[in-house]
Amino acid sequence: MTIETFLMLLSGVAWTIVYIESIRIGIRDKSYAMPFWALALNIAWEFLHAIMGFRAVGLTLQIGINFTWFLLDIGLLYTYFRYGRKYFPAWLSRPWFYIWGILGILTAFILQYMFIAEFGLLMGAVYSAFLQNLLMSVLFITMLSQRGTSEGQSLLIAISKCIGTLAPTVFMGILGISGVMAPNRLVLACGILIFMFDLVYIWLLARVKQFQRQPSLA
């Protein structure tokens, strides 16, 4: 097994854990575990790169992982539409919650397609994946701050996300892909920033969980 294959598998397994645990936590807490805009960009990325990648090169390890992630994204999308209404402004009616969600997904598909049109299938996938991952890291911190509790969140999700992104950062940002892509400075910069924000989120989430376990003095 090459280092590229190992890191690809590590990323695939880690992110699969993120998705499965997010579905489980979302159903358990009657919430959703992945920030909506990150989810919208993810489901668009995984659908387009699974379908278009399969048409271009056939079934590879990464294409198979993309298909798996897309199927799990459907479960994540269910938790958002099933439980996300309580986080939406109360003064807006229920139909607007669904309209906003559909608009967000359509926007994500347009943006992901334009990345492919502008940079090509491979580099479009790489650039959009790391940029949306950076956005996701910031949105996780924002979600924790807005909710004020660990509802719909877990350290397993946070740590697995961190590992799942660190692996491709190493082989795309430092090692490069043999015969396909040289080490990429934008990927490396995004990967370092993502790692920093992920560590902040892990630390904040651990503090929130510790605070919640403390007995009330009331």
CA distances to 48, 66, 105, 127, 142 from 112, in Å = 8, 14, 11, 10, 23
pLDDT, tens digit, for every residue of 157-211?
A: 999 999 999 999 998 999 887 777 888 999 999 999 999 999 999 999 999 988 8
| Rounded Cα gap, residues 213 and 150, in angstroms | 11
- Looking at residue 218, its pLDDT comes to 47
pLDDT of 217 over the 70 cut: no
What pTM value is reported for the model?
0.92
- The average pLDDT across 49-76 equals 92
Considering the chain, what percentage of its residues have pLDDT values greater than 70?
98
Q: Residues 7-17, buried b or exposed e (16+ Cβ, 10 A)?
A: bbebbbebbbb
pLDDT at 216: 56
